[in-house]
Amino acid sequence: MKVDLSQDFKTKYRNLMGDRADKLFAAIQEDSQEAFRLNPLKANFQNVSYSLERPIEYSPIGYYGEINGNSIDHLSGYVYSQEPSAMYVTEILDPQENDKILDLCAAPGSKTTYIASKMASQGLLVSNEINAKRAKVLSSNIERMGITNTIVTNNSPKDFEKKLGQYFDKILVDAPCSGEGMFRKDPDSVQYWSLDYVEQCANRQRHILDSAYKLLNNGGTFVYSTCTFSPEENEQNIDWFLDKYPDMHLVLVKKYAGMEDGRPEWGNNNSELTKALRMFPDQFNGEGHFMCKMVKDGEPAAIKERQINNGIKKDDTKFVQKFAKANLKTLSENNWLKINDFLYQAASLDSRFKGLHILRNGLKLGEFKKNRFEPDIAWILAIKPDELNTVFELDQTQFEKYLHGESVILTSKPDFDNKWIGLAYQDKLFSWGRYSNQQIKNVYPKGLRR
């Protein structure tokens, strides 16, 4: 599809880039580059049907190639489609297992799920999205990838300021922007672009930057990124931010082939901006991005958690233990949290989060029903096969029927008799099954059926 660039856009970038602008415009007319990531939170995570022969240099789990959203690799959370330029943001952030990390503008979840995959289910990741509809998509992607250490919130950055001042070791702001770097991936987005829209985005980003500063602990790391070429949203905003907060400093970001320095001449001639990086599609095998890494001076303030009541009653524990004894080899009772009739293994029980709009706090284990406990799809997507008493491998026909909502009829009595079993296809767990009388009854969520 031809990308219809406006005359204002062309004039702006000819003024900024001279003769090179025509190369950029030509690159925007080319096909976008597809890529995907593996998910090291999964058992035997390299066991996928996609080729791993084209690795991405700067991502140990990233590969060039296109994936099918209906494949078992995708449905079971073994792969995540992500544009290759965007993968580098998480590598710059460098998540560690015991960090407290905030992804402030997280939907649809590509960067959040990458961050979580590097944290090995340790520490705390708070993934926020201000748009309610997009926050639900974010939550579902986190569930599919089997992530357990994440709180998903639907709040404004200002809401966080009131609750969580200087709480986080690391913050990512992948800022909502004018999207110029994604024009060839999403040609329809060109119609929203204007010079005024760029200014609106830049102003909104400054409010987000202010909030991020207040939420970052001393000694903390702050990564800012956009998928736009616009200097107003990139160098100029970072120059403004560094001037306003002199205890923040840019850190040199390693650049791979095709990556370029930030442009001081586009940001008040601040020479520090060369430490940032840019990706232009005429030079780099990916879409357009700007990224920079900053650190905050000072010694980190100690963060002491104030725990809330988990709401668990004695009978609740009995029901879950009864379920586990029949169907699981192991059961962790750490950080259990009951919300209404649902049981979570919470990512945090810190009372600071009380009052925020939380869509998901850690791993949703299941639901208490009349005198019993039933497991949730999120649990099977996070569990390892060796934690289950029974894993039943479906053949292709059975798998396709199960995805449609049909039960699996067994021709002979199986060698298990527990009620809840893990269902797998191509050695990948993707759903619970409820066994009874030589049938595996379908409990796959209706919203996921094909």
**Choice among 177, 201, 227, 292 that is catalytic:** 227
Model confidence at 2, pLDDT cuts 50, 70, 90, reads: confident
User: Is the separation of the CB atoms in 434 and 420 below 8 Å?
Assistant: yes
pLDDT, tens only, 305-361: 889 999 999 999 999 999 999 999 999 999 999 999 999 999 999 999 999 999 999
DSSP for 32-83 reads PPPEEEE-TTSTTTT--SS--SSB-TT-TTEEES---TTSHHHHTTSEEE--
Strands 289-296 vs 277-279: parallel, antiparallel or unpaired: antiparallel
For residue 220, pLDDT over 70 is answered with yes
Stated pTM of the model: 0.96
Q: Which pLDDT does position 17 carry in this prediction?
A: 97
Residue 439 structure tokens: 């049938």
Any bridge partners for residue 393, and if so which?
Answer: 424
Q: 201 an active-site residue?
A: no
pLDDT score recorded for residue 1: 67
* DSSP calls for 346-404: -S--BGGGTTS-EEEESEEEEEEETTEEEE-HHHHHHS-GGGBS-EEE--HHHHHHHHT
pLDDT of residue 265: 98
pLDDT tens across 362-375, in order?
999 999 999 899 99
Is 80 exceeded by the pLDDT of residue 144?
A: yes
Measured between its terminal Cα atoms, the distance across the chain in Å is 29
The amino acid that residue 18 corresponds to is: G
Quick check: helix, strand or coil at residue 99? coil
Question: Which residues sit in the known binding site for S-adenosyl-L-methionine?
Answer: 105-111, 129, 174
Question: What does the alpha-carbon distance between residue 124 and residue 96 come to, in Å, rounded to a whole number?
Answer: 10
- What are the DSSP E strand ranges found in 269-350? 277-279, 289-296, 336-339, 342-345
Buried b or exposed e, range 152-166, using 16+ CB within 10 angstroms: bbbbebebbeebbeb
Which 3 state secondary structure label does DSSP give 190? Answer: helix
CB atoms within 10 A of CB 2: 8
pLDDT digits (tens, 9 = 90+) for 260-291: 999 999 999 999 999 999 999 999 999 999 99
What CATH fold (topology level) applies to the domain 389-450? Answer: Nuclear Transport Factor 2; Chain: A, (3.10.450)
Q: What percent of the chain has pLDDT over 90?
A: 94
Annotated binding site: 105-111, 129, 174
> For the chain, how many helices (H) and strands (E)?
12, 22
By the 8 A CB rule, do 56 and 285 touch?
no
**Residue 162: strand, helix, or coil:** helix
CA angle 350, 353, 357 (to 5 degrees): 150
Annotated domain spans of the chain: 389-450
- Alpha-carbon distance 393 to 109, whole Å? 29
Identify whether 385 is preceded by a cis peptide bond (ω within 30 of 0): no
How confident is the prediction for the chain on average, in pLDDT? 96
Per-residue model confidence as pLDDT tens digits over 98-132: 999 999 999 999 999 999 999 999 999 999 999 99
